[in-house]
Amino acid sequence: MTVGRTAFCLTMTMFGICANVAATKPVAVSDEEGQKLAAELRLLRPADDLAIRGLLKIRDADGRRTNVPFHYRFISGEKTWQNVYEIEGGGGMAGETLKVIHTEGGPNRYLFSHRSNGSIGEPVAGDKAMIPFANSDFWLADLGLEFLHWPGQRIVHEAKIKMRKGRPCKVLESVNPRPDAAGYTRVRSWIDIETGQPILAEAYGPDNKLIKEFEIGSVTKVNGHWELKNMEMRNTGTDSRTVLEFQYDQKAGE
Q: Is residue 13 part of a domain?
A: yes
In a domain, 162, yes or no: yes
The predicted pLDDT at position 19 comes to: 29
Block mean pLDDT (10 aa), the chain, length 254: 45 39 37 92 85 94 94 92 88 83 93 73 81 93 90 80 79 87 87 85 91 84 73 93 85 48
What pTM was estimated for this model as a whole?
0.80
Q: Kindly give, in sequence order, each residue whose CB lies less than 8 Å from that of residue 63, ignoring residues fewer than 6 positions away.
A: none
Residue 232: closest CA among 209, 202, 194, 192: 202
- Number of structural domains found in the chain: 1
Range of the domain at 242: 5-67+135-247
- The CATH number of the domain holding residue 197 is 2.50.20.10
What whole-number distance in Å separates Cα of residue 83 and Cα of residue 101?
Answer: 7
Does residue 110 lie in a domain region?
Answer: no
In a domain, 124, yes or no: no
The C-alpha atoms of residue 131 and residue 10 are separated, in whole angstroms, by 20
In a domain, 119, yes or no: no
Task: Round to whole Å and give the CA distance between 159 and 189.
Answer: 11
Nearest by Cα to 55 from 195, 248, 253 = 248
